[in-house]
Amino acid sequence: MLHDLAVVGAGPVGATLALAVADADLDVVVLDARAAGEVARGDRSLALSHGARLIFERLGVWGELVAREPGAATPISAIDISQAGGFGVARLTAAENELPALGYVVRYRALQAALDLALARSGATVRHGVAVTSVGGTPAYAAVEACDASNGEVQPILVRLAAVADGTGATVGGFERRRHDYGQVAVVAHVDCAAPHGGLAFERFTADGPVALLPESDRYGLVWTTTPQRAQELLALPEAAFLERISGYLAPRAVRLVRVEHRRAFPLVLEFAHATFETFDITGHR
């Protein structure tokens, strides 16, 4: 059987694509390694634009997302932009642009749950517990090899188009991976402020890199870009010293910070993949 489209991965990107074509009279199959109802990774924060909200509203996802739990989507009403040692400041506001918000800080788990529910309502064919091991094809079709976790059976799925939406393609054969390391690290944390943030975000450009405070529920999400050595020093600082250091970078622009939790560091790298497809015959064999 030749499907029109196979979407590999039902995370935010793959699920959004599947929902966008749900009414297009296409034979679409979504393949996801997760068990039904499982969220594969730990919770984290995503920054979405106003345009992304419009897409999710059209797909029937946004209302479910904001109704799931308080603080699942925090609006950014204004952004204060400044440069350490520089002259002047810029402030962008949603009101001046006649928007409900400039963007939103969204919890990954809440977004994934809302997308899963929307996919289930759409009637799309979603095969959970199916890990794609390789993608290949010919000019006429693509062949997706999928392993069913329930029985270990591997079978080819033939499609007119395969859309790989599992991040960098790290779990799928048939792609060449490339990685560029920028030599910088993002220190992230949750910080509490002494007064309500009112949806105001801060972006401060420094000699080490940008520092951002993003409103998230009733606190801020911190993203502090710096060198790997400085990042380790920051993670090792006592709470009071860390807050003093970050306040020194942001003052006098930002609000007073009183508590920090969940400090972590991530290397800033660019990872991407491009297809190096093998050729399959019509039976799906190499």
Range of the domain at 214: 179-270
The DSSP code for 35 is P
Same domain, 141 and 41: yes
Looking at residue 133, which CATH number applies to its domain? 3.50.50.60
- The answer to whether residue 79 is domain-embedded is no
Same domain, 53 and 183: no
| pLDDT for res 279 | 46
- The answer to whether residue 279 is domain-embedded is no
| pLDDT for res 188 | 93
Residue with tokens 């969220």: 39
Spatial separation of the C-alpha atoms in residues 88 and 107, rounded to whole Å: 33
Residue with tokens 């970078």: 249
| pLDDT for res 69 | 80
77: which 2 tokens? 């009403």
Same domain, 133 and 197: no
Same domain, 118 and 223: no
CB atoms inside a 10 Å sphere around CB 123: 8
- The answer to whether residue 13 is domain-embedded is yes
| pLDDT for res 281 | 44
Same domain, 161 and 119: yes
| pLDDT for res 38 | 80
Same domain, 146 and 60: yes
Same domain, 10 and 60: yes
Contacts of 279 (CB under 8 A, 6+ apart): 136, 137, 138, 286
Question: Which of the residues in the chain have pLDDT under 70?
Answer: 40-42, 167-177, 251-254, 271-286
166: which 2 tokens? 């599992």
| pLDDT for res 18 | 96
| pLDDT for res 252 | 58
CB atoms inside a 10 Å sphere around CB 286: 11
- For the chain, the domain total comes to 2
| pLDDT for res 285 | 43
State how far the alpha carbon of 151 is from the alpha carbons of 8, 34, 130, 148, 172, in Å. Answer: 19, 15, 10, 6, 19
